């Protein structure tokens, strides 16, 4: 079973991101379970959502305590909330920001994780470019597909189109593709530079 | 058709497939998505003929359902928590009159302190109101139970509550097999009311009954629930034949063969319990699970039969009967009382998950380790923070004007950001 935890704030599409991820996994014939941390339904309040993906029925109903992947939609949470709680060094970590981990003040901290599974991506900027709004959730999922190779960009695009029709859907698909390409480029760069 | 759906949406579609003619509801979390989706289906004309009635309270919601059902319409509503309490008087009327209303309860805690999260306090508070209560383990089962609920309610002319864990199920997006209309039409026959208010053939429903016959009328409600003990497994068998899924029934035993320790539970926590039990079985621990799908009627004989060979029974409940322990345990004890001649299993109560406290596999493992070693107290509060409790008890002892518990304890706990849990 692969477990994902997504951190952000109310209004940033954190719950939708988990649902899209589950839908993308379902598109690929897998079992998936998406659910929010409940209660903080206020714009701007810290929000957490979860997604489990497996090849068999998922029965577990506890929150994701030890994520295999962590997606951070809002980097201002990094020093406010225990975002990294329960993360193993092998976890995939993707943060939406234009900054580097050093610039975020996490340069030392992230040396505990596998460097090829750890990236920042300007998902909000890519979303603004393709949709006119800085809602980073769909773009972050595109980036996650490239980072984790857990699912295809096509499945992510299909999930986005099922949820959002017309220009909103296409804009978010384009943002997801841009983030996918961006992350792919970063990973190729990383593989050339020894850590 | 296999789809990836939110639990609320899956239930709304299941209800729509059963062709209700009147839906009346008042929004309350975590039930709201269900009736929102149904309102949408009525407005778009996908669900027709059906009247969606916006009411001003839950008391009105159940009253409209009663009125609609009495005129021979298939009636449905949904609620949770304080909403269920607010309709309590009307709940007794629906069951006392013998009207086959079907209602979803998206289980949620009851205040004070106000809390919107999941536990079973709401449905358990109405366990003796005469409604049948079925509890869903997953969203697939929630969908399936609604189809079975309409059949059961109308066969007995008695109301049925389908309980599903608020948020944990209602807001979870997962794989659900949604049947097609033709199959549901074949499974849920048209509503043939036992009693109808019809201006052309006037009758009254709801006569005042004095001491000369009140007990007899009340007994009939009990007799119907006893009949439900036979009907529920039969409907589940019919359902399996029609849809190919083993869903519903009275009980759901899991890995009970040679189990020395058995966990009894209801609702979505069964999934986490089963995963825990699988791990323990691999380690050679003889532990099993007994899921209760039907809590009302309570299947006394079937529970006794399932548990009588165990050495220990751990009843895991998401409701607290303040001053005694657990409402489910009291019923399990009653089932086991008659088995005591041959040495009944030791039965412990575990109160867990109140007000949305997560029930984790790690906590269940520790709990079952204690149970298997016979270290479990008769009444345990899973993951209770004794430090927090004792600090407030000390304050109470130190000052007769120590103030409100919730506010005092929140100050101790400190600000809560939406952390990992």
Q: Is B278 in the same domain as B312?
A: yes
**Residue contact A48–B420, C-beta within 8 A:** yes
State the smallest CA–CA distance between residue B341 and chain A in angstroms: 37
Considering the domain architecture, whether residues B279 and B376 belong to the same structural domain is answered as yes
pLDDT of A42 reads 81
End-to-end Cα spacing for chain A: 29
- Closest chain A residue by Cα to residue B115: A39
Predicted complex ipTM: 0.94
Per-residue model confidence (pLDDT) at position B35: 97
* Neighboring chain A residues of B30 at a CB cutoff of 8 Å: 38
Q: Is residue B116 part of a domain?
A: yes
Pick left, alpha or beta for residue B293 (phi over 0 → left; psi -120 to 50 → alpha; otherwise beta). Answer: alpha
B29 and B142 belong to one structural domain = yes
Q: Do A65 and B271 touch (CB under 8 A)?
A: no
Q: What is the CATH number of the domain that holds B209?
A: 3.40.50.970
Residue A107: which CATH number? 3.40.920.10
Best mutation target among A6, A31, A38, A156 (most B Cβ atoms within 10 Å) is: A38
Residue B383 to chain A, least CA–CA distance (Å): 14
Mean pLDDT of B275-279: 98
Do residue B196 and residue B261 come from a single domain? no
Give residue B418's pLDDT band: very low, low, confident or very high (50, 70, 90): very low
Q: Is residue B238 part of a domain?
A: yes
Does the pLDDT value for residue B417 go beyond 60? no
Q: How confident is the model at residue B420 (pLDDT cuts 50, 70, 90)?
A: very low
In this prediction, residue B421 carries a pLDDT of 44
Tell if the CB–CB gap between B420 and A86 is shorter than 8 Å: yes
Q: Which residue of A has its CA nearest to B267?
A: A61
Could you tell me which residues are beta bridge partners of residue B211? Answer: none
B170 within domain boundaries: yes
Closest approach of B411 to chain A, Cα-based (Å): 19
Same domain, B108 and B183: yes
Q: Are B315 and B237 in a shared domain?
A: no
Contact B173 A34 (CB under 8 A): yes
Question: Each residue of B202-234: pLDDT tens digit?
Answer: 999 999 999 999 999 999 999 999 999 999 999
pLDDT at A193: 66
- What confidence tens digit (pLDDT) does each residue in B48-96 have? 999 999 999 999 999 999 999 999 999 999 999 999 999 999 999 999 9
User: Is the full-model pTM beyond 0.90?
Assistant: yes
Cβ-proximal residues to A33 (8 Å cutoff; 6+ apart), any chain: A22, A50, A51, A52, A58, B172, B173, B174
Q: Are B127 and B98 found together in one domain? A: yes
Pair (B260, B237) in one structural domain: no
Say how many domains are in chain A.
Answer: 1
Residues B272 and B203 in one domain: no
**Beta-ladder partners of A9:** A46
CATH number at residue B303: 3.40.50.920
pLDDT band of residue B344 (cuts 50, 70, 90) is: confident
Residues in chain B whose beta carbon is closer than 8 A to a beta carbon of chain A? 4, 6, 30, 116-118, 138, 165, 167-168, 171-175, 268-272, 274-275, 356, 358-362, 417-421
Query: What is the domain range of residue B369?
Result: 251-381
pLDDT of residue B416: 61
CA distance A192 to chain B (A): 34
Task: Please judge whether B421 and A65 are an interchain contact, meaning their C-beta atoms are less than 8 angstroms apart.
Answer: yes
Domain boundary among B381, B398, B413: B381
Give the nearest partner residue to B175 out of A26, A61, A62, using CB atoms: A26
Strand order of the β-sheet with B261-265 is: B251-254, B287-292, B261-265, B312-317, B346-351, B379-381
Question: How many domains does one find in chain B?
Answer: 2
The pLDDT of residue B341 is 62
**Mean pLDDT per 10-residue interval, chain A, length 195 residues:** 96 96 98 85 88 98 97 93 93 96 92 92 97 96 97 98 96 98 94 68
Q: Within this chain, do residues B108 and B34 fall inside the same structural domain, yes or no?
A: yes
Q: How far apart are the first and last CA of chain B?
A: 34
Shared domain for B180 and B69, answered yes or no, is yes
CB contact burial B33-62 (16+ within 10 A = b; e otherwise): bbbebbbebbeeeebeebebbebeebbbbb
Task: Please indicate, yes or no, whether residues B201 and B257 belong to a single structural domain of this protein.
Answer: no
Q: Per residue in B97-149, pLDDT tens? A: 999 999 999 999 999 999 999 999 999 999 999 999 999 999 999 999 999 99
A-chain CB neighbours of B172 within 8 Å are 33-35
Flag whether B98 is in a domain: yes
Domain residue limits at A79: 2-192
């Amino acid at each position: 079973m692969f477990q994902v935890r997504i951190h952000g704030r109310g209004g940033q599409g954190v719950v939708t991101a988990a649902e899209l991820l589950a839908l993308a996994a379902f598109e690929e014939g897998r079992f998936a379970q998406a659910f929010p941390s409940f209660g903080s339904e206020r714009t701007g309040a810290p929000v957490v959502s979860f997604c489990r993906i497996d090849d068999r029925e998922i029965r577990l109903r506890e929150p994701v305590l030890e994520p295999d992947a962590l997606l951070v939609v809002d980097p201002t949470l990094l020093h406010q909330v225990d975002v990294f709680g329960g993360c193993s060094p092998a976890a995939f970590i993707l943060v939406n920001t234009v900054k580097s981990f050093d610039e975020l003040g996490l340069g030392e901290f992230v040396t505990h994780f596998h460097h090829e599974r750890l990236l920042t991506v300007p998902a909000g900027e890519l979303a603004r470019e393709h949709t006119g709004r800085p809602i980073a959730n769909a773009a972050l999922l595109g980036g996650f597909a490239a980072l984790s190779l857990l699912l295809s960009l096509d499945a992510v695009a299909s999930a986005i189109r099922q949820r959002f029709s017309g220009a909103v859907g296409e804009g978010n698909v384009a943002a997801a593709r841009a983030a996918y390409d961006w992350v792919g480029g970063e990973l190729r760069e990383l593989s050339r530079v020894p850590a | 058709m296999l789809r990836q759906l939110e639990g609320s949406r899956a239930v709304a579609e299941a209800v729509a497939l059963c062709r209700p003619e009147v839906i009346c509801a008042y929004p309350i979390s975590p039930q709201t998505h269900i009736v929102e989706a149904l309102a949408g289906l009525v407005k778009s004309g996908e669900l027709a003929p059906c009247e969606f009635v916006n009411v001003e309270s839950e008391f009105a919601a159940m009253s409209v359902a009663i009125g609609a059902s009495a005129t021979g319409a298939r009636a449905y509503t949904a609620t949770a928590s304080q909403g269920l309490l607010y309709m309590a008087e009307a709940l007794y009327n629906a069951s006392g009159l013998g009207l086959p209303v079907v209602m979803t309860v998206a289980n949620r805690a009851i205040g004070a302190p106000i809390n919107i999260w999941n536990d079973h306090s709401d449905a358990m508070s109405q366990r003796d109101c005469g409604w049948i209560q079925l509890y869903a383990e997953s969203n697939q089962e929630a969908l399936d139970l609604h189809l079975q609920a309409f059949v059961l309610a109308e066969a007995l002319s008695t109301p049925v509550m389908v309980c599903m864990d608020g948020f944990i199920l209602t807001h979870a997006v997962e794989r659900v097999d949604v049947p097609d209309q033709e199959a549901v039409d074949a499974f849920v026959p048209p509503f043939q009311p036992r009693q109808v208010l019809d201006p052309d053939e006037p009758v009254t429903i709801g006569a005042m009954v004095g001491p000369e016959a009140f007990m007899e009328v009340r007994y009939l409600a009990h007799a119907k629930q006893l009949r439900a003990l036979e009907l529920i497994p039969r409907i589940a068998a019919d359902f399996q034949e029609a849809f190919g899924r083993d869903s519903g029934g009275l009980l759901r035993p899991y890995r009970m063969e040679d189990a020395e320790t058995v966990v009894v539970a209801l609702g979505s926590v069964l999934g986490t319990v089963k995963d825990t039990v699988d791990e323990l079985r691999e380690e050679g621990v003889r532990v099993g699970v007994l899921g209760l799908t039907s809590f009302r009627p309570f299947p006394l004989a079937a529970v006794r039969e399932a548990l009588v060979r165990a050495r220990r029974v751990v009843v895991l409940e998401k409701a607290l009967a303040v001053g005694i322990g657990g409402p489910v345990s009291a019923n399990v004890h009653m089932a086991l009382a008659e088995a005591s001649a041959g040495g009944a299993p030791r039965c412990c109560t575990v109160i867990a998950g109140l007000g949305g406290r997560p029930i984790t596999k790690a906590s269940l493992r520790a709990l079952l380790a204690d149970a298997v070693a016979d270290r479990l107290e008769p009444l345990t509060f899973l993951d209770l923070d004794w430090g927090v409790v004792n600090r407030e008890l000390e304050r109470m002892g130190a000052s007769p004007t120590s103030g409100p518990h919730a506010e005092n304890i929140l100050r101790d706990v400190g600000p809560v950001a939406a952390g990992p849990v």
